[in-house]
Amino acid sequence: QKEVEQNSGPLSVPEGAIASLNCTYSDRGSQSFFWYRQYSGKSPELIMFIYSNGDKEDGRFTAQLNKASQYVSLLIRDSQPSDSATYLCAVNGATNKLIFGTGTLLAVQP
C-alpha cells in the first residue's frame, strides 16, 4: 500500500463547475496535510494546508480532512481553465518530511 494515494486522472470538469480532488494516506500518526499545485514543467506551489478535522476555506479552495477515514480532499469552486494542473497531496511523515502522492491531473474545459 502506498503511503499517499491519489487517482492519477485526468479529472475533466467544465469551466465554472466544482472540481473535487481526493487523497488517502496510510499513516494514522500524520498530523499535517498539504495540497500543492504543479503546472507542467514548473515547481510545486503550496495551495493549502490543514491540520484539524473538518473544512478549511481559502477563496475558491476548500480543504477537507477526516482523520478517522484517513482522507483528505480539495474542492475547487468555479473552476477556471487556469486551474488546469496536477494537484499533489502531501502528508507529513517521520522527521516531518512530506510524503507526496503521485498527483491528480485536472483539466478544466472552457
Partner 1 sequence: NAGVMQNPRHLVRRRGQEARLRCSPMKGHSHVYWYRQLPEEGLKFMVYLQKENIIDESGMPKERFSAEFPKEGPSILRIQQVVRGDSAAYFCASSRPEDSPLHFGNGTRLTVT
Say if residues 89 and 101 touch (Cβ distance below 8 Å). yes
Q: Are the C-beta atoms of residues 20 and 73 closer than 8 Å to each other?
A: yes
Question: CB of residue 38 vs partner 1: minimum separation in angstroms?
Answer: 9
Chosen residue from 37, 63, 92, 108 binding partner 1 by CB under 8 A: 92
Draw the binding track, 33-62, toward partner 1 (x: CB under 8 A; -: no contact): -x-x-----xxxxx--x-------------
Among 54, 69, 97, 110, binds partner 1 (CB under 8 A): 97
Which residues, including other chains, have CB under 8 Å from residue 40's CB and lie 6 or more apart?
85, 86
